Amino acid sequence: MKVALIGVGQAGGKVTERLTRFDAEMGFGAVQGALAVNSAEPDLQSLEYVDTQLIGADRVNGHGVGGDNELGTEIMQADIQQVMNALDGRVTSEAEGIFVVAGLGGGTGSGGAPVVVHHLQQIYDIPVYALGVLPGRNEGALYQANAGRSLKTIVREADATLLVDNDAWHEQGESVEGAFETINERIAKRVGLLFASGEAVEGVGESVVDSSEVINTLRAGGIAALGYATEVASEDSAENVNTAMSVSRQALLTGTSLPDATTADSALLVVAGEPDRIPRKGVERARRWLEDETGSMQVRGGDFPLESDRLGALVLLGGAERSDRIQEFMERAREAKKAQEREAEKTDPAEQFADDQLEDLF
Ligand code: GDP
């Protein structure tokens, strides 16, 4: 699937850069153009592989918006024409979709990404998707509240929103910075493989997955999730029937970008590996298992021929918003928002003196 990428904010820029680099290093050629947009100049300066566009210089002078996502929205609205101009030519006539990438919990990406999606929808006929990073459970209340509002808006604007929970794709005990590195690398690899599946032309057989299957799976709209797992495989496909089953199970049950998301409107199972190692019977069995597990009648499947001694499963879910994880997150975001409002009331001078938690001296 040929795509154009726009990263908004710090996380958006870093993830976009990683994805672009992975695609170039693998020689896939799925990423046709990439742009990073930010109100913080230093964040843009650290990027090497993507073009950049500074916004809001007249308001924040290259210093970013802190965690103020309303300011992020305003700045993006004011400078949207500049962003659309910078993108011109990067959305090639071959592009089949545009992905707007952002951390939903911060300021520039959280507030700006929904605005970018909205304007792209007015201009381009191809689908406009979001790739959003959700704050992990231990990130602060401001991140949770910001992400809640951003998610609500971006889901409304985008054709589908692929979510990666920051708690999902890293090891326990890593530092936050270390974890970001790991998470970004995994996003790049997994989402990069999703883009590249459908681009494979060598050894084309009927079972090779096509870009349109990715697009059709995302047509369910709402929230999408991506799962991934691999295992060493035998050279003889007949011996890999159980392996195909077990990588597919792991991809959905433990390897997903949105933990516990298993109910979906649609799904796509891409089995990656050397064509000789891919067991037809195993793939078909795994596809049927996925139908049962997701409760979806629309489970597509296909191969992605790739040189490797491993067999990999990539599971894309469309319409996964009924998952417990999303309900739990939205609850957390609502709580954080209420707490913020209570804090704001307290700083109102009149309210401050009405605070009955502080007792009068006499
Ligand atoms: P912005 O620059 O104002 O858009 O803010 P950020 O992009 O820093 O957004 C903050 C949110 O993104 C928080 O939930 C962070 O945990 C998360 N975040 C920041 N940097 C990264 C990163 O490199 N990778 C990942 N996965 N998340 C990040």
Q: Is 12 annotated as a binding residue?
A: yes
CA end-to-end span of the chain: 72
Gap from CA of 154 to ligand 1 centroid (Å): 16
Which atom of ligand 1 is the closest one to the Cα of 107?
3
Q: Is residue 207 part of a domain?
A: no
Per-residue model confidence (pLDDT) at position 340 = 85
φ/ψ of residue 20, rounded to 5: -65, -40
- With 0-12 / 13-18 / 19 or more C-beta atoms within 10 angstroms meaning exposed / middle / buried, residue 76 is buried
Confidence at residue 141, expressed as pLDDT on a 0 to 100 scale: 93
Distance CA(169)–CA(18), nearest Å, equals: 15
- 81 belongs to a structural domain: yes
Q: Which residue has the higher pLDDT, 26 or 354?
A: 26
| 78 assigned to some structural domain | yes
Which domain does 58 fall in, by range?
A: 3-196
Q: How many CA atoms lie within 13 A of 210 on its CB side?
A: 7
pLDDT band at 225 (very low <50, low <70, confident <90, very high): very high
135 lines ligand 1 (CB under 6 A): yes
Domain finish residue from 281, 302, 318: 318
Question: Is there a contact between 211 and 196 (Cβ–Cβ < 8 Å)?
Answer: no
Dihedral sign, CA of 282, 285, 291, 294? negative
109 CB within 6 A, ligand 1:
yes
Whether 192 and 98 map to the same domain: the answer is yes
Q: Over the stretch 126-135, which tens digit does the pLDDT of each residue have? A: 999 999 999 9
Q: Whose CA is nearest to atom 3 of ligand 1?
A: 107
CATH number where 310 lies? 3.30.1330.20
The tokens describing 309, both together, are 């001694």
CA distance 239 to 228: 21
Read off the CATH number of the domain in which 189 is found. Answer: 3.40.50.1440
Residue 38 above 60 pLDDT? Answer: yes
Does 192 lie in the same domain as 243? no
Q: What is the pLDDT of residue 323?
A: 84
> Looking at the DSSP assignment, which residues form a beta bridge with residue 167?
none
Count of domains for the chain: 2
Can you tell me the ipTM of this complex? Answer: 0.99
Residue 337: inside a domain:
no
Provide the token pair at 52.
């950049």
Is 238 a member of any domain? yes
| Domain stop point among 196, 216, 249 | 196
Q: Is 109 marked as binding a ligand?
A: yes
Same domain, 301 and 189: no
Question: Does 13 sit in the ligand 1 pocket, CB within 6 Å?
Answer: no
Write the pLDDT tens digit of every residue in 57-81: 999 999 999 999 999 999 999 999 9
CB atoms within 10 A of CB 7: 32
Within-domain flag for 79:
yes
CA of 48 to the centre of ligand 1 (A): 18
Q: What are the Cα distances from residue 91, in Å, to 49, 106, 204, 249?
A: 17, 26, 27, 36
pLDDT confidence of residue 311: 97
Q: How far apart are CA 101 and CA 9, in angstroms?
A: 9
The dihedral region occupied by 66, where left means phi > 0, alpha psi between -120 and 50, and beta the remainder, is left
For ligand 1, the distance from its centroid to the CA atom of residue 104, given in whole angstroms, is 7
* 102 and 11 Cβ atoms separated by less than 8 Å: yes
* 19 and 124 together in one domain: yes
Q: Choose among 73, 55, 77: nearest CA to 64.
A: 55
Q: What pLDDT does residue 200 have?
A: 66
Residue range 135-178, pLDDT digits in tens: 998 899 999 999 999 999 999 999 999 999 999 998 777 777 78
Split at pLDDT 50, 70, 90, the class of 8 is very high
Q: Is 121 annotated as a binding residue?
A: no
60 plus 186 within the same structural domain: yes
Backbone angles phi and psi of 266, in degrees to 5: -150, 160
Phi, psi (5° rounding) for residue 261? -85, 105
Q: Is residue 348 part of a domain?
A: no
pLDDT value of position 132? 98
